[in-house]
Amino acid sequence: MAVSASLSPTPLPLWQRAWPHVLAVLFFVVLAVAYFAPIVFNHQTLAQHDITQFQGGARETQQWAAEHGHEPLWTNSMFSGMPTYLISVHFPGDLFVYVQKFIALGLPGVVSNLFVALLCGYVLLVALGVRPLVAVAGAVALGFSSYNLAILAAGHNTKSWALAYAPLVLGGLLLAFRQNKWLGAALFTLGLTMNVRANHPQITYYLGLLVVIYGLIELVAAVRAGRLGDFAGRVALLGIGAALAIGVSFGRLYTTYEYSKFSNRSSSELKALPPAPGQPAAPSARQQDRDYAFAYSYGVGETMTLLVPNFYGGSSAMPLGAGSNMARELNTLGASPDMLASMPTYWGDQAYVAGPVYVGVVVCFLFVLGLFVVDKRTRYWLLAGTLVSFVLAWGKNFETVNNLIFDYLPGYRSFRAVSMGLVMAQLAMPLLAALALARILRPRAAVLATGPTPPAAPEPLHPALAKAARAAAGAPIVVVDSPDNLLRTKQLLYAGALTAGFLVLTWLVSFSFDFASPQDANLTQSGFTPQLLSALRADRADLLRSDVWRGLLFVGLTLAALYFYLKGKIQAAPAGLVVIALVLLDLWSVDKRYLGEKNFQTETIAESFQPSPADQQILQDKDLSYRVLNVANPFNEARTSYFHKSIGGYHGAKLRRYQDLIERQISTNNTAVLNMLNTRYVIIPGQKQGEAEQVQRNPGALGNAWFVRELRAVPNPDAEMAALTGLDTRKVAVVDASKFPAVKPATYADSSATIALTDYAPDALTYRYSAAQPATVVFSEIYYADGWQAFLDGKPVPHFRVDFVLRALQVPAGPHEIKFVFEPKEYAIGNTVSLISSIGVLLAVVAAGVFGSRRRQEAA
């Protein structure tokens, strides 16, 4: 005889319901602080290359804002002048900057970034009804995925923030469709607002693809269930939330969109150069765009790094230990062991890799388990998202599909580094893994038996009710595996066998690899002996195989913890804690390979920008505006921009026309072009190692503005570019008649006209001139029609482009004042929309939250 018992649970007080969440948040703070302990406790900084370069490019803007109380929207510190939209611009209408500060708890930059990633992952799972302990495990899996830490090491902070907030979007999406549409819409809107304002459109795009895949699966389910109207209502509600969320960042999006039309992400107006004799024809513009986007494509086999981080050797600059094959070979040769600090262990096809994309072997095991135990709609969605992620990341390695996607998927052509597509898998796999863990750690079945043997068909009884049931029946509790428990155990064993078997197969197959890298030829040319190269390849093999055995250990421990729980040997809490510890240890130890002690430094970013003697010499020149060319690495560094107005700079989206000028003229050392850009100083590196750089003053620099003797018309952009070769830019300017038909060719006899820059601001330039006759004046400033307005004695006048990149103005005789002011309408409109949307989102989130809470209470 079996007796079942049931108790009506008494609602817990608020503080008892809240304390697990408070403990979880504190745990996340501890984790983030511990990982970045050198920053918090030793006042060190993270050596982030891109952030250092950003500080160089943003220096003029930030310094001007600090001294004058407003942030200029144009800077002359990079590429002879460009908008600051993609460098350093704030939008006062975006009120969510205060929400960002509140969520980050005042923690230092990268510390708060990791904390928010953990917090948002936790909120996602709690919103799905997962118990706090499992939600912590899922949050750790999401937050410590290796890509999150690797991009922080590189300084890709906006990308990392966009990823950190992505789980909020998914949490709101699932909550809106599966449970409470009002609370779900509120969370979705808040998450998307923060994700979009992180200002990394490519991450938001991939997140959008994951949302669309989910929507398609829900649409099919709604059609089958005959609830299409309800589906449409929820989509509409989320659509309103998405519109408001995008509106908060409308200023950034609008200005970036307008700028993109003129940036090097757009196509050049110039025809491709003819090939050199004997060389193949240049690829088409479309193929060039593809090649640019697919330059960083993840290898098909390289996808294995999600499970085995060192499958392809880890990184392009990996430290090797004293026990490595390379160390022994260096010792044999009597060579310095210093080389071990940075070895090219990566042997894949990408040009450079800072670290693999690794989601964790424990996560992969639980992901496989999720394919068995999680509900069909959810697992189909997350599996589809993962597979799409793989395909997109493969890029040129799966051209048959990716060429079509690149050509026809709306907006996709704007992005590069398609390997970033793996962020979809980075979100989907830990989420499915956490849901699988939640399914396994559900309460086991129990039976209250009043006879000497358990009944043939035991009646399940929650263990939490065992004590009360025993008191009611006066008989012992006998725990018997229910059919559900037996099924879960089988599914667990199947998933463990598949994951472990795949790892063993990887180990076996690795003996057929040669571990040769496409870059090995360069190593041979740089002095690597055949013995060193052989030792390096042996180390690559050892790295792979050691990670396979490491993975088997983690899978075995995770499997054991969950198996013993299902068999009633341990409780859910200890099993969950073991899994949390394993997920954390697995990911933490791999993350430290790519963001560890070596990445911290004692000097601040400001201290890293110390002026050299050459900089100090140039800074003695107190003229209002002139430019500097650092010939050492002009177009891939922003250090020069920190101190001077630079011909070069560091940015992934410079103006398209300026890029063309670099490729066609500046790279050929056309001094006439450098002169028209007012290149007053040239920094030349020392001829010998350790020798100080030198400064040369360029006597041919044309100054801030000058009058030309002739304005010559050419028929098209190609002719305009070609005319710069051999052009005396001091005397002659060329204008593209196809773009400026109203500007007529002219010659000028007056050689006595003078002009001078009298007042300088990055976004406002004032000149005084005197001319006996009407004339044309050329300014050594980059032409950018979208925002710059010319004024003559306070009245607006049209200006035009000459010499492919410069501004010009036809002026009347006499003494007059010319002023150029940069006031783009996109900024003003965008800021207004951002303010209205910020208020709208705050009101909508509060209203949806209140209404949703009431509906939930009424349903209860």
Kindly indicate the confidence band of residue 11, based on its pLDDT and cuts at 50, 70 and 90. Answer: low
**Statement to judge: residues 428 and 575 lie in one domain:** yes
- Asked if the structure places residue 632 within a domain, the reply is no
DSSP 568: T
- Asked if the structure places residue 565 within a domain, the reply is yes
Q: Tell me: the pLDDT tens digits for 413-469?
A: 878 889 999 999 999 999 999 999 999 998 765 544 444 444 444 444 444 445 555
- Asked if the structure places residue 459 within a domain, the reply is no
Q: Which of 149-153, 190-194, 474-478 has the lowest mean pLDDT?
A: 474-478
Mean pLDDT of the chain: 88
Q: Tell me: the pLDDT tens digits for 74-94?
A: 999 999 999 998 888 888 889
- Asked if the structure places residue 137 within a domain, the reply is yes
**pTM of structure:** 0.88
Q: Tell me: the pLDDT tens digits for 212-250?
A: 999 999 999 999 999 999 999 999 999 999 999 999 999
State which of 532, 561, 596 marks the end of a domain.
Answer: 596
- Asked if the structure places residue 503 within a domain, the reply is yes
Kindly indicate the confidence band of residue 54, based on its pLDDT and cuts at 50, 70 and 90. Answer: confident
| Contact (Cβ atoms closer than 8 angstroms) between residue 596 and residue 404 | no
**Res. 266: pLDDT tops 80:** no
pLDDT value of position 15: 65
Nearest CA among 595, 660, 645, 594 for reference residue 765: 645
**Statement to judge: residues 124 and 157 lie in one domain:** yes
d(Cα 795, Cα 812) in Å, to the nearest integer?
A: 13
| Domain count for the chain | 3
**Statement to judge: residues 772 and 838 lie in one domain:** no
| Contact (Cβ atoms closer than 8 angstroms) between residue 805 and residue 733 | no
d(Cα 12, Cα 14) in Å, to the nearest integer?
A: 6
**Statement to judge: residues 500 and 534 lie in one domain:** yes
**Statement to judge: residues 246 and 345 lie in one domain:** no
Q: What range defines the domain where residue 178 resides?
A: 94-266+829-860
- Asked if the structure places residue 445 within a domain, the reply is no
| Contact (Cβ atoms closer than 8 angstroms) between residue 565 and residue 479 | no
**Statement to judge: residues 247 and 392 lie in one domain:** no
Q: Tell me: the pLDDT tens digits for 153-198?
A: 888 888 999 999 999 999 999 999 988 899 999 999 999 999 999 9
| Contact (Cβ atoms closer than 8 angstroms) between residue 515 and residue 347 | yes
Nearest CA among 148, 145, 253 for reference residue 201: 253
**Statement to judge: residues 814 and 857 lie in one domain:** no
φ/ψ of 755, rounded to 5, equals -150, 145
- Asked if the structure places residue 679 within a domain, the reply is no
- Asked if the structure places residue 768 within a domain, the reply is yes
Nearest CA among 781, 799, 780, 802 for reference residue 676: 780
Residue type, 319: P
State which of 553, 573, 596 marks the end of a domain.
Answer: 596
More confident residue, 61 or 56: 61
**Statement to judge: residues 491 and 403 lie in one domain:** yes
**Statement to judge: residues 813 and 852 lie in one domain:** no
**Statement to judge: residues 310 and 405 lie in one domain:** yes
d(Cα 746, Cα 744) in Å, to the nearest integer?
A: 6
Q: Tell me: the pLDDT tens digits for 774-791?
A: 999 999 999 998 899 999
Nearest CA among 395, 403, 306 for reference residue 356: 306
DSSP assignment string, 161-212? HHHHHHHHHHHHHHHHHHS-HHHHHHHHHHHHHHHHHT--HHHHHHHHHHHH
State which of 596, 618, 647 marks the end of a domain.
Answer: 596
**Statement to judge: residues 248 and 389 lie in one domain:** no
**Statement to judge: residues 857 and 797 lie in one domain:** no
